[in-house]
Structure 1
Amino acid sequence: MRIDTFYKTESEISYTNRIFQEIYFQKSISKQEISKLLQLSLPTVGQSLKELYTLGIIQKNGYFESTGGRKAEVISVASKAKVAIGVSLLREFITITALDLYGQPIKEKICYISFERSDAYYRAFGKAVNQFIDELKYPDNAILGIGLAVQGLVSQDGQTIISGDLLGYTGTDRSVFQNNIRLPCRLFHDTEVAAYAELWEFPDIQNAVYIALNQNLGGALIVGRQVFHGDGVNSCIIEHMRLIPGGRKCYCGQYGCLDGYCSINSLESDAGMDVNTFFEKLKHSDSHCQEVFDRFLNYLALAINNIRMVIDCEFILAGFLQPYLTQEHLQMLAKKVSSVASFKNMTFSFRRGVHGPNAAARGAALVLISNYIYGL
């Protein structure tokens, strides 16, 4: 599936949808402004507004200041009238989030359920998600659906995990989850929707490489504000770029993949401690941690430079490691990238993601919200 910011052509969008989008992006607007901006008659605008009021997704918020005549009513989106749920499925736990129509978190929860490919797990998974739905206290028809972010490549129709070696669930069908959840769900590749979550926050980004510094590394390529898949669904799987030929064995079966050197798992293994302890000691200038982190950044710099030789764009550093990365760390990384660059005059930039460990769950929900906004 393409995860688009815009996925309908102008001819396919109804007047009501165009008006809803205008209200959504303007945040507050009058009936007269809508008529002027969209070049629609006031009766046409009025009829569409009536439909939107009936749906309960817009509201009146007082009046604008008078410009000499009758005060115009302020119209805005009822942001909490609809919610979308995103679920990120990891080996040891799941993260569940509910977002309003502007992508603001309403409720988030972590449930510690260890993954196994069994009916018992899918029942426990469904029970946790259904309980979360109950706790929201929203009617089912106000929930836009459930996006399941999984660690693996997903078919374009969102029905099947076509490559899931990390958790051993290649070939798993959406139905094993759907049979235990009372609301419609679909599958997404976690790194792709995590990248989408960052796009949502950064409207200025057009092209970028998204690097998810999680327990296992992930990546996504953003081109023209869309996650790029290439001719199949295998684009920008940077975790399996060969960094050290004959190096550490990767879960994919090969040796020397980037995941073995630039993931949280590799950092914890090299340091001999968990990531929280590691960064606490690093903050206090522990020599062992400094050495491990310096080597970690060296590997990451090599990978970034290799990617830059093919794609000239900025990099988003995100994922579970993002909250630990300081501006000083980014400056260190930038110097290391410059030191291995073939062309010293090449410019590049980093920015930190904002969603941290919640990016995948939020991104899965945001795709559903985007589909609703543009498909009303």
Structure 2
Amino acid sequence: MRTIGRGATQQSSAPYNRRVVLDFIRQQGAASRKDIADMVSLSPQTVANITNDLESIGLIVSRRQKVDKTRGQPPIAFELNPEGGHAIGVSLEPGRVSAARVNLVGDVLERSEIELDTSHRQNLLAAMLAQVLQLRKGTRERLWGIGVALPGPLGATDISFLGPTAMEGWADLSLLDELRDAARLPLFYSVDSVAGALGETLFGVAQSLDNFFYLHLGLGLGGALVVNRNAYRGTNGNATEIGHVPVVPGGLPCYCGNSGCLERYVSMHALAEALGLSDPQLRSPQLLARLADPADAVVEAWCQQAGERLRDAICMIENMLDPRAIVIGGGAPKVLVERLLAAAQPLRRSVRGGVGDPDLRLLLSERQGDSSILGAAVLPIYEMLSPRLETVQQDRRPDADVAELLGHRSGGRWGG
């Protein structure tokens, strides 16, 4: 069920009202002033003023709606202007940095990918900066900032570890400050699972969902709980680190220091181990061919055991959190996710099973493969569009008129 934001009447709430209107237009795809006034509880004059303001700075565009022939002019509908703002997303994984420029409606316009030793901080900084400068080169549209998505957990925790699915040395996040200062753009960061969840909220299969659980299947395994269209981050920003929940007593040793963790059985790295491949080989065309071949016995055996663990994880998520849906995204190839979901059938009984729409129970991201990059780029866009925004860091406002109109705030860094 989709929640429509409601406008507020206080004069001080004008920026919030603009965000509510902008978010409503985004959710609907196109909306007339009457649609907006009816659904967000603002007066027609207030809606007219807001849409005029938003159109004047290029965040929305107006078009005549196509209707059956009637007397008079057809009503005007407003849509987000795809070129109203761009953002650059940077996705960090062990051994690889991917980046892309994304517009206001989630289209990936340009991308870049570099393989390097991500434990070498200065080389990594140079690579990220080179990608950002290349992607912004020749771009005339306003750039709202850089979003960076990286594997969790973040900060100094008992499971801030070294291993093939984690970023070495990322208890210290000062490298992101250096990137922000060198690029002279606002920078926002988050763990990849939260970024992916926000991407699905704005531009993906979860646009109509108020609450869901996002399962991020990539080199490792992560998760994010979305409640009222905001990601729950926990006390230290590391909530729902589902990949490090032990599920097999006395199972495989995990890099976090425990054993039998879910990530050791359901992740791209676990697949690489089973196939005797290095992690970089997971992106080869040869592997994609194997994943699509039902006669490959080794791949099939791995999918069957991973599917059993995924079945357990789905039951655990549903019984603990009762989400409206579980959305599966991340960098894993779509063909692999589809095989895992098939192997996980039939699903276990849970508080979710048999209650709601069965077609909503499990949803596969339509941006599989682009989830991490899109999720990263969404961070600055989400900051500007969301009417339920938490305070975030903003050292340089993306555009003075946009920032003033939408009541952009400064505060502590948004992480985790």
TM-score band w.r.t. shorter chain: 0.7 to 0.9
Name the amino acid aligned to 2:182: N
Q: 1:101: which partner in 2?
A: 104
Aligned to 1:151: 151
The farther-off stretch of 259-268 and 7-16 is: 7-16
Query: 2:394: which partner in 1?
Result: none
1:354 alignment partner in structure 2 = 366
Amino acid at match of 2:91: S
Deviations 1:86-127 (A, max 9, x none): 111112222212222222222233233431243233123212
- Matched residue, 2:57: 55
Contact 2:211 2:227 in 1 (8 A): yes
2:99–2:131 Cα contact (<8 Å) kept: no
Separation in structure 2 between the aligned mates of residue 153 and residue 99 of structure 1, nearest angstrom: 26
Q: C-alpha displacement at 1:333, in angstroms? A: 0.8
Give per-residue Cα distances to partners, 1:317-347, cap 9 Å, x unaligned: 2222241236564233122x43xx5899766
Aligned twin of 1:324 = 335
1:226 paired residue number: 230
The change in CA–CA distance for 1:272 and 1:5 in structure 2 (over 3 A counts) is farther
- How much does 1:146 deviate? 0.8
User: How far does residue 271 in structure 1 lie from its aligned partner after superposition?
Assistant: 2.1
The alpha carbon displacement at 1:185 in A equals 0.9
Q: Which residue identity is paired with 1:286?
A: D
> In 2, Cα distance between the equivalents of 1:288 and 1:71?
60
Q: Equivalent of 1:238, from 233, 242, 248? A: 242
Q: 1:133-164 CA deviation, whole Å, 9 max, x = no partner? A: 115x225xx11111111112457xxxxxx957
Is the Cα contact below 8 Å between 2:33 and 2:44 reproduced in 1? no
Residues 76/196 of structure 1: CA separation in 2 closer, same or farther (3 Å cut): closer
Other structure's SS at 2:372 match: helix
Q: 1:73 to 1:89 in 2, by over 3 A?
A: same
Select between 13-22 and 108-117 the one with higher mean Cα deviation. 13-22
TM-score (norm 2): 0.74
Supply the AA of the counterpart residue of 1:108: R
Which consecutive residues of structure 2, in runs of 5 or more, have no partner in the other structure? 388-405, 407-416
Is 2:224 aligned against 1:206?
A: no
Structure 1 residue aligned with 2:82:
79
Farther off after superposition, 353-362 or 311-320: 311-320
Shift of 1:362: 1.0
Judged with a 3 Å threshold, the aligned counterparts in structure 2 of structure 1 residues 6 and 45 are, in CA distance, closer, same or farther, namely closer
- How far the C-alpha of 1:186 sits from its partner, in A, is 1.9
Q: Is the 8 A contact 1:198 1:354 kept in 2?
A: no
Shift of 1:305: 2.9
Query: What's the CA shift for 1:16?
Result: 4.8
Q: Would the aligned equivalents of 1:213 and 1:321 in 2 still touch at CA under 8 Å?
A: yes
Letter in 2 for 1:171: D
Q: Distance in 2 between matches of 1:92 and 1:199?
A: 28
Alignment match, 2:264: 260
8 Å Cα contact 1:147-1:368 kept in structure 2: yes
User: 3-state DSSP class of the match of 2:84?
Assistant: coil
Distance 1:45 1:287, change over 3 A: closer
Partner of 2:189: 187
Letter in 2 for 1:334: Q
Contact 1:28 1:75 in 2 (8 A): yes
Pick closer, same or farther for the CA change 1:114–1:77 going to 2, 3 Å: same
- Counterpart secondary structure, 1:254: coil
Matches of 1:360 and 1:344 in 2, distance apart?
28
Task: Output the CA distance in 2 between the equivalents of 1:104 and 1:209.
Answer: 24
RMSD of equivalent CA atoms: 3.5
Structure 1 unaligned blocks of 5 or more: 156-161
1:197-253 Cα distance to aligned partner (Å, 9 max, x none): 223322333333322221111112233333222344232111111122333222212
For 2:275, which of 271, 277, 282 is the aligned residue? 271
1:133-148 matched pairs, under 5 angstroms: 133-135=136-138, 137-139=139-141, 142-148=142-148
Among 343, 357, 363, which residue is 2:375 paired with? 363
SS in 2 for 1:80: helix
1:30–1:181 Cα change, 3 Å: same
CA distance in 2, matches of 1:18, 1:371: 13
Judging changes above 3 Å, is the alpha-carbon distance between structure 1 residues 214 and 123 closer, same or farther for their aligned structure 2 residues?
same
CA contact (8 A) 2:161 2:255 kept: no
Larger Rg: 1
Q: Please report how far the alpha carbon of residue 8 of structure 1 lies from its aligned counterpart in structure 2 after TM superposition.
A: 9.2
Identity fraction in percent: 22
TM-score, normalised to structure 1, is 0.80
AA partner of residue 372 (structure 1): M
Look up the equivalent residue of 2:341 and give its one-letter code. L
